[in-house]
Amino acid sequence: MTFNLAAMPCRIVVSCLLTLALAGCSKHNASPPAPSNKVRVGYVGITCEAPIFTAVEKGFFQEEGLDVTLVKCEWANYKDVLALGGFDITHHLVMYFLKPIEQGLDVKFTGGIHRGCLRVQTGVNSTIRSVADLRGKRIGVPGMGTPPFIFANRVLGAHGIDAAKEISWRVFPAGELGLALDKGEIDAIADSEPIGSLLLAQGKVKNVADQANDAPYKDEYCCAVIVSGKFLAAQPKAAAAATRALLKAAKWVEANPAAAARLSVEKHYLASSPELNTVAISHLRYVPSVSGAEAAVRSAAAEMKKAGMLSPATDVEKLAQRAFVHLDGVTDDWLKTVPVERVAGGQVAPDQDIRSYAELILQDKAESCCKVRKPVASK
């Protein structure tokens, strides 16, 4: 019997892989797998995954000699599918994987993709003006344990607030966080792109903590390439090649944010409009770095431990050494040599106020929805 994992829902993939793993536990002398050029890349379908979609559509995986398959997953079991071999590599939030790595998850970070996709926000007229003002408040999140939740915990911990005891957490679908804030059901929200930019553009919120602009987060890579430890051990050349493809794609996205936004939407990787996706992507900095990712693992682990999200007994340095690996041919020096194409119409004007741009887009959409179409007279 054969399984087409890429075609299965992630929850079924988890079940199948667990069954296969248990069935294979008695095999001790299996031969090492032959080198392969096949790689499966996991994704959720969100704005910041533009390099994944770009690497496929612009042929960067093919340039590295790889035969790529995309595996679409859900937030709830994303880590499990990677751990059980449902896909081999992706890029994702460093903070999202550090706790599982601490607990023994066999995955490795290999290179930084971008900075700045998470925020903590409150109502535009709220009396909350700083992180310190959040003590004792209700914060809405798209889920407990999600990247926005983890970022908020980290920010709170850095300001001496016990997020478990001094914050009331409320879970809402990501698209309903702004509405819950409007209705007074919560005092603040923690979100990711494109939600944060859209709420700012609508004039509903102000930032309390912004990963793209606030120290120490603004210089830290929030998302990095992450590879299955089993895949890395079995196919180290393919793991390095896939990492290079994703880092090349990140450079392309930085040089062509508007083009990357259009590609993501027009190729149906995510549901948005090219204009609004451009706003969200333009908030991020896709300047890939190997050393930057390694530094981000250390700094994020240190603050997560301070916030109580990692065990008090955890040695941050040892965790970082276990979580990050240097691959052959994947270095900052190599990245400097990677040429970057600039496509016509692919950029955002440097003097363009991206928030104003988003407001105009939303205004145009509202006006279009409200226009009354006159009936066409029959002949």
Give me the DSSP letters along 356-376: HHHHHHHHHHHHHHHPPPPPP
Compute the distance between CA of residue 314 and CA of residue 316 in angstroms, rounded to an integer.
Answer: 6
- Predicted confidence band at 208 (pLDDT cuts at 50, 70, 90)? very high
Per the CB < 8 A criterion, the answer to whether 219 and 260 are in contact is: no
Calculate mean pLDDT across residues 3-29: 43
Pick from 326, 320, 338, 322: nearest CA to 240: 326
- What's the rounded mean pLDDT across residues 356-375? 48
Q: Compute the distance between CA of residue 31 and CA of residue 335 in angstroms, rounded to an integer.
A: 35
Q: What is the predicted pLDDT for the residue at 74?
A: 82
At residue 18, the pLDDT reads 43
Q: Which long-range contacts (CB under 8 A, 24 or more apart) does 216-221 make?
A: 216/299, 217/115, 217/116, 218/115, 218/116, 219/115, 220/115, 220/292, 220/295, 220/296, 220/299, 220/300, 221/94, 221/112, 221/113, 221/114, 221/115, 221/289, 221/292, 221/293, 221/295, 221/296
What is the SS3 assignment for 300?
helix
The pLDDT of 65-70, averaged and rounded, is 97
- Please report which confidence band the pLDDT of residue 103 belongs to, taking 50, 70 and 90 as the band edges: very high
Higher-confidence residue of 126 and 18: namely: 126
Least confident of 85-89, 276-280, 326-330, 370-374: 370-374
The DSSP output letter for 119 is E
Token pair of 15 as six digits: 């079940």
| Residue 91: closest CA among 37, 55, 63 | 55
Tell me the mean pLDDT in the region 223-245: 97
Task: Identify the pLDDT of residue 128.
Answer: 96
Confidence at residue 78, expressed as pLDDT on a 0 to 100 scale: 84
* Mean pLDDT, all residues of the chain: 85
Predicted confidence at residue 363, as pLDDT, reads 56
State residue 288 phi and psi, 5-degree precision: -60, 150
Task: Tell the residue number behind the tokens 């590295």, with chain if given.
Answer: 64
Q: For position 26, what pLDDT does the model report?
A: 38
- Spatial separation of the C-alpha atoms in residues 175 and 113, rounded to whole Å: 25
| 13 has a pLDDT exceeding 80 | no
Parallel/antiparallel/unpaired status of strands 168-171 and 223-228? unpaired
Tokens 């006006």 belong to: 367
Which pLDDT value is given to residue 17? 45
Q: Which is higher by pLDDT, 226 or 3?
A: 226
Domains and CATH numbers, the chain: 5-18+35-115+222-337 (3.40.190.10), 118-210 (3.40.190.10)
